[in-house]
Structure 1
Amino acid sequence: MTAATQQVEPTTADEDILAVAREQVLERGEGLSQDQVLRVLRLPEGRLQELLGLAHEVRMRWCGPEVEVEGIVSVKTGGCPEDCHFCSQSGLFATPVRSAWLDIPGLVTAAAETAETGATEFCIVAAVRGPDRRLMDQVRQGIAAIRESGNDINIACSLGMLTAEQVDELAEMGVHRYNHNLETARSHFPNVVTTHTWQERWETLQLVRDAGMEVCCGGIVGMGETDEQRAEFAVQLAELDPHEVPMNFLIPQPGTPYEHYEPIEGPQALRIVAAFRLALPRTMLRFAGGRELTLGDLGAEQGMLGGINAIIVGNYLTNLGRPAQRDLTMLDDLQMPIKALNDTL
């Protein structure tokens, strides 16, 4: 039963939302409703640590202590025909990013470097509306070469919108998880992207689920959305019930329509992370792009103790991340075990 359909007792304004969440989410494992998430997002800053502590308890209760580590690589960078306003890879904006392809040896090397960090996931990403025959063949050859090298890391893909035939082909290649972000609340999406719809993305995710692959779907916060739309988005993700939700924070990219947006502040970002954990108690919640800019080192540690249980290490496509070893050291310092490969197969 999803957060969108479950029957939840209505709460009144004088009830403490964290007390409600402790009973509803921590004890029963039922995600917060949209109105309840909104109330969490509007908690005063003085209650942030209490909120983070509850989110961590929920993560430990319903997901356990392990952290899944992932690396990503772009097999096709830049030149995308879509107008996602946050993205430096759109060919419609005057950004510094130029179109480029990664060759098969480069893909094998990237997968090996990812595996060396202890990561169990390697995600192949392409800046496209959806894959053409050339890209599908490149992915097939790349996966075969990675396997022939002796690397048994799990392989995920993020190649845009898919047809049913393409979904089946990726599943046959051995792709076990597919990422396709909804990016933001349905009500805000037309302000972010105009060249395709939120519904088109949703339909691809349903095809992925029907094919038996794991669904990875999240978005970006800080793109001008309201608290109400953040709450809406959290519950829409809960309705989708993805295996994983990547949490990205906007990096204002030169040349894009959002280049002058101010990054959201660290305490606000942590409150959003915790609110999403309370809406999605059983879902893998992954720190992704923008956390270094928004949170810094201390904030990253607070996030890991505030509901996060997965992390991308290394770089994020066209943006630099922290060195992988710094994140691995952080997890060691926090005594958070890294999920083993044999537990993910």
Structure 2
Amino acid sequence: MTAAAEIESSPETGEDILAVARRQVLERGAGLSEEQILAVLRLHDDRLEELLSLAHEVRMKWCGPEVEVEGIISLKTGGCPEDCHFCSQSGRFPTPVRSAWLDIPGLVRSARETAETGATEFCIVAAVRGPDTRLLSQVRDGIKAIREDGNDINIACSLGMLTQEQVDELVAMGVHRYNHNLETAKSHFSNVVTTHTWEERWETLRMVGEAGMEVCCGGIIGMGESVEQRAEFAAQLADLGPDECTMNFLIPQPGTPYENYEIVEGKDALRTIAAFRLALPTAIVRFSGGRELTFGDLGTRQGMLGGINAIIVGNYLTNLGRAPSADLDMLDELKMPIKALSDTL
């Protein structure tokens, strides 16, 4: 066996890893193990198209052709006390972002504009360690105003780490899904964040899932992690079993410790997306921050044909995205229908 073949074989059986994935994931719906994910991440570039094709088949069989569209809005921007090294909203770094709050009319207007794109999810995000009384009151008033505006879009939230009481409050408000990213592998987390732990994030996700909200959890690729740690991270997400996995790629932000990090190379990013799909065959896998910078238009199309089945349209929290119409036109050209609101309820 050649060295290349050894790299591309299953660690359990020595069989070609894509043949194993086809049988295990495509046919049975069982995600790859950490060792198997690592073998996929080590595949040579000349097998990338084969890998992407298999990931697309898995997505189509276990999730269907529909694409879930989501918009996000920052209710509270900047001034966060945490030191997440990738984030321009941290108050600990000399970034251009300053603290600001969005008023309720602005929140309602953003939700309306999001619904008009055909999106079924609207995520309210705040740059905080966790929500205080003022923030939860603002979220409550905002959701009430969105409903009074006649908008029945699903409301998601991303408000940091929660207590059980706060989880229960969000459930009572009718929050459909909660986003709280683990960000990276457990073994790498302390290199990315020092003001809280990976375990604290995990505990919030556990409470959210047990309370009946859908769990949205992913992370950021390109923060200095090794390929082994990417495989570790995918396997840890599979253990969590999120309803949705967000795939972000590092945008080096001025003033942060990661401002000079290199952008993830497109082929490497596509290989990672496909590997995560093979680890999470039934989850929503969403294109999120950094895709414009990492992929460009052509790579975005390849990702949509390589395991992705959800997308954020419009701008991100502190970075501009593409015009929603550009993404919607792309989905139309790819003949990928947008998931209807009735299908998400």
Tell me if TM exceeds 0.5.
yes
Q: Which letter maps to 2:337?
A: P
Separation of aligned partners in 1, 2:169 and 2:176: 12
Does residue 115 of structure 2 align to residue 115 of structure 1? yes
Runs of 4+ off more than 6 Å: none
Separation of aligned partners in 1, 2:249 and 2:301: 16
Does residue 17 of structure 2 align to residue 11 of structure 1? no
User: Corresponding residue for 2:286?
Assistant: 286
Separation of aligned partners in 1, 2:160 and 2:314: 22
After TM superposition, give the deviation of residue 343 of structure 1 in Å: 1.1
User: Corresponding residue for 2:297?
Assistant: 297
Q: Structure 1-normalised TM-score?
A: 0.97
Q: Deviations over 1:170-219 (max 9, x none)?
A: 00000010000000000000000000000000000001011100000000
User: Corresponding residue for 1:53?
Assistant: 53
User: Corresponding residue for 2:7?
Assistant: none
User: Corresponding residue for 2:165?
Assistant: 165
User: Corresponding residue for 2:251?
Assistant: 251
Q: Which letter maps to 2:249?
A: F
Q: Deviations over 1:276-299 (max 9, x none)?
A: 000000110000000000000000
Separation of aligned partners in 2, 1:278 and 1:341: 26
User: Which secondary structure does the structure 2 equivalent of 1:261 belong to?
Assistant: coil
**Percent sequence identity over aligned pairs:** 79
Separation of aligned partners in 2, 1:10 and 1:275: 15
User: Corresponding residue for 2:73?
Assistant: 73
User: Corresponding residue for 2:260?
Assistant: 260
User: Which secondary structure does the structure 2 equivalent of 1:230 belong to?
Assistant: helix
Matches within 5 A, 1:325-340: 325-340=325-340
Contact 2:70/2:312 (8 A) holds in 1: yes
User: Corresponding residue for 2:230?
Assistant: 230
Contact 2:32/2:279 (8 A) holds in 1: yes
Structure 1, unaligned runs of 5 or more: 1-8
Q: Which letter maps to 2:181?
A: N
**RMSD over aligned Cα, in angstroms?**
0.8
Structure 2, unaligned runs of 5 or more: 1-9
Q: Which letter maps to 1:287?
A: F
Q: Which letter maps to 1:329?
A: D
User: Corresponding residue for 2:276?
Assistant: 276
User: Corresponding residue for 1:148?
Assistant: 148
User: Corresponding residue for 1:220?
Assistant: 220
Separation of aligned partners in 2, 1:138 and 1:198: 27
User: Which secondary structure does the structure 2 equivalent of 1:124 belong to?
Assistant: strand
Separation of aligned partners in 2, 1:38 and 1:227: 7
Contact 2:88/2:96 (8 A) holds in 1: yes
After TM superposition, give the deviation of residue 238 of structure 1 in Å: 0.3
User: Which secondary structure does the structure 2 equivalent of 1:286 belong to?
Assistant: strand
User: Corresponding residue for 1:178?
Assistant: 178
After TM superposition, give the deviation of residue 10 of structure 1 in Å: 5.9
Q: Deviations over 1:296-326 (max 9, x none)?
A: 0000000000000000000010000010000
Q: Which letter maps to 2:341?
A: L
User: Which secondary structure does the structure 2 equivalent of 1:156 belong to?
Assistant: strand
Matches within 5 A, 1:72-111: 72-111=72-111
**How many residues are aligned here?**
336
Q: Which letter maps to 1:95?
A: T
Q: Which letter maps to 1:212?
A: G
User: Which secondary structure does the structure 2 equivalent of 1:76 belong to?
Assistant: strand
Separation of aligned partners in 1, 2:57 and 2:209: 29
After TM superposition, give the deviation of residue 11 of structure 1 in Å: 2.1
After TM superposition, give the deviation of residue 90 of structure 1 in Å: 0.1
Q: Structure 2-normalised TM-score?
A: 0.97
After TM superposition, give the deviation of residue 342 of structure 1 in Å: 1.0
User: Which secondary structure does the structure 2 equivalent of 1:215 belong to?
Assistant: strand
Separation of aligned partners in 2, 1:191 and 1:10: 29
After TM superposition, give the deviation of residue 93 of structure 1 in Å: 0.1
Separation of aligned partners in 2, 1:268 and 1:316: 23
After TM superposition, give the deviation of residue 15 of structure 1 in Å: 1.6
Separation of aligned partners in 1, 2:166 and 2:150: 26
